[in-house]
């Protein structure tokens, strides 16, 4: 069973349906005990960073997520579910994150001569593999795969070696990280058509 953690934000149905589509058994939950019983954990997220961390705290989910990671359960963070793993975000803050991956979350700030670069960064952008070429989550994905992003903030890991995919929007930014059993991406695999479904299938089948 895959726990899809419901933290008060937006479109969980798409994540649930996409996981089921590739053969997973997702359960959308706000219950820490369901997370404890789950074989794998997915944390999707949209909206504001502060509201998200507050939602985690209100539901008493933080402890269960830390336990799942410490127990070595395959863990997938999506969008805010990536950002919240870091030390802090400058969105309406700084606001503290979970501190599971050292680093910060910062806003896209196009320079004056880059006014063609829009924020939010919305749309399809190709991602580049950085090291970790054999990561099981990336099996079967084309090089320079186009994936769907929708965000204004991006993560800056303190240890660059956690970055497995990067992308360009004025700056080269981290699009996905790997740390032990944790994989998290800034883009939305559940909205990235066949490329995203391949990645989710990898999570269901291999992780």
Partner 1 sequence: MLTRRIIPCLDVKDGRVVKGTNFIALRDAGDPVEQARAYDAQGADEVCFLDISASPEGRSTLIDVVARTADCVFAPLTVGGGVREVDDAQRLLEAGADKISINTAAIRNPRLVADAAARFGNQAIVVAVDARRRRDASGTWEVFSHGGRTPEGLDALAWCRQVAELGAGEILLTSMDRDGTRSGYDLELVRAVVDAVSVPVIASGGVGQLSDLADGLTIGGADAVLAASIFHYGHHTIGEAKTFLAARGIPVRPPGA
Q: Which residues are catalytic?
A: 79, 188, 190
Q: By CB under 8 A, which span of 58-66, 69-77, 93-101, 184-192 interacts with partner 1?
A: 184-192
Pairing of strands 2-5, 26-29: parallel
99 is a site residue for partner 1 (CB under 8 A): no
Q: Does 168 bind partner 1 (CB under 8 A)?
A: yes
DSSP 143: T
- Closest contact distance (angstroms) between CB of 82 and partner 1 is 14
Residues from 34 through 63 that contact partner 1 (CB under 8 A): 46-48, 51
Taking CA atoms, 120 is separated from 9, 108, 110, 150, in Å, by 17, 8, 11, 7
Q: How far apart are CB 139 and partner 1 at their closest, in Å?
A: 17
Nearest to 17 by CA among 36, 44, 37, 35: 44
Q: Which of 23, 57, 71, 152 binds partner 1 (CB under 8 A)?
A: 152
Cα atoms found within 13 Å of the Cα of residue 19, Cβ hemisphere only: 25
Residue 106 engages partner 1 in binding (rule: CB under 8 A): no
Residue 175's alpha-carbon distances to 69, 71, 91, 166, 189, in angstroms, are 20, 25, 18, 5, 12
Residues contributing to the site for partner 1 (CB under 8 A)? 9-14, 17-18, 21, 46-48, 51, 115-126, 142, 144-146, 148-152, 168-169, 188, 190-197
């Amino acid at each position: 069973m895959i726990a899809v953690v419901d933290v008060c934000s937006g479109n969980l149905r798409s994540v649930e349906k996409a996981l089921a589509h590739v053969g997973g058994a997702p359960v959308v939950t706000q219950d820490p005990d369901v997370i404890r019983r789950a074989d794998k954990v997915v944390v999707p997220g949209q909206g504001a960073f502060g509201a998200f961390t507050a939602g985690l705290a209100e539901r008493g989910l933080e402890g269960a997520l830390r336990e799942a990671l410490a127990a070595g359960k395959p863990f997938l963070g999506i969008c805010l579910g990536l950002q919240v793993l870091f030390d802090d975000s400058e969105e309406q803050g700084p606001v503290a994150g979970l501190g599971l991956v050292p680093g910060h979350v910062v806003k896209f700030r196009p320079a004056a001569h880059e006014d063609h670069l829009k924020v939010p960064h919305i749309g399809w952008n190709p991602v580049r593999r950085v090291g970790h070429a054999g990561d099981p989550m990336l099996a079967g994905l084309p090089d320079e795969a186009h994936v769907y992003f929708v965000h204004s903030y991006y993560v800056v890991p303190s240890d660059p070696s956690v970055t497995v995919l990067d992308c360009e929007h004025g700056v080269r930014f981290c699009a996905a990280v790997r740390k032990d059993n944790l994989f998290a991406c800034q883009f939305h695999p559940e909205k990235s058509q066949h490329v995203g479904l391949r990645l989710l299938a990898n999570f269901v089948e291999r992780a």
